[in-house]
Amino acid sequence: MTTEAKSCGTCTLCCKVLTVTELDKPGGVWCASCKPGVGCAIYEDRPPSCREFACLWLLDATMPAELKPERSKVVMRIESEGQRLVARCDPSTPMAWQREPTYSALKRWAGRAARDGHQVMVVSGRRHWIIGPVNDLDMGESEPNTPMSFEIKADGTLQAGGGGA
């Protein structure tokens, strides 16, 4: 059985949820160069941060069609040198991460991440959550790249504060 290679197709959600500093484009608004549902008008000349972006749905052959960003309303990527999976929600669907099958997938990744000393984080606007194998921590609103302090207890429970950020 052969599997078809994944492609963006009509999905352009990364062009909305991600920040593109080179274009002074904040996260949560459509890029002026994006044609939603079509693609990037400056694709050949797009800035480095766009060229370096790697959508986890495209990279992971096992991720089902339901997790494609245009369907799930959540763009996932690996950040912090492979230490953190970050799921960014479409501002028009800020709690999309809590819908199935997205939430179950985040919990599975959180279980593996906890064992490996990694993290799973959800970002919706300025609000952040740390997803754990047992519970989730609402870290409230903060600026991007603000350090968040929490620890994972032996039973897999997350606790705010602590030394393991």
Task: Flag whether 108 is in a domain.
Answer: yes
Task: Flag whether 27 is in a domain.
Answer: no
Domain around 136:
54-160
Asked if residues 152 and 164 have their Cβ atoms less than 8 Å apart, the reply is yes
Write out the two tokens for 66.
Answer: 């339901």
Phi first, then psi, for residue 34 (nearest 5°) are -90, 140
Task: Flag whether 35 is in a domain.
Answer: no
What is the rounded distance in angstroms from the CA atom of residue 30 to the CA atom of residue 139?
26
Partners of 123 in beta bridges: 88, 128
The residue among 106, 19, 93 whose CA lies nearest residue 56 is 106
Task: Flag whether 165 is in a domain.
Answer: no
Whether residue 101 is preceded by a cis peptide bond, meaning omega within 30 degrees of 0, is yes
| pLDDT tops 60 at residue 1 | no
Task: Flag whether 83 is in a domain.
Answer: yes
Task: Flag whether 40 is in a domain.
Answer: no
Cα-atom radius of gyration of the chain, to the nearest Å?
16
Average pLDDT over residues 21-43: 95
110 CB-near residues (< 8 Å, 6+ apart): 120, 131, 132, 133
What sign has the CA pseudo-torsion 48, 50, 55, 58? negative
Mean pLDDT of the chain: 89
Q: Which helix (H) or strand (E) holds 137?
A: strand 136-141
pTM of the shown model: 0.87
Task: Flag whether 47 is in a domain.
Answer: no
pLDDT tens digit sequence for 66-107: 999 999 999 999 988 888 999 999 999 999 999 999 999 999
Neighbours of 66 (CB within 10 A): 12
Residue 8: strand, helix, or coil? coil
| pLDDT tops 60 at residue 3 | no
Number of domains in the chain: 1
pLDDT tens digit sequence for 39-61: 999 999 999 999 999 999 999 99
Q: Is 113 exposed, middle or buried (0-12, 13-18, 19+ CB in 10 A)?
A: buried
pLDDT value, residue 80 = 81
What is the rounded distance in angstroms from the CA atom of residue 52 to the CA atom of residue 136?
29
| pLDDT tops 90 at residue 148 | no
pLDDT value, residue 153 = 73
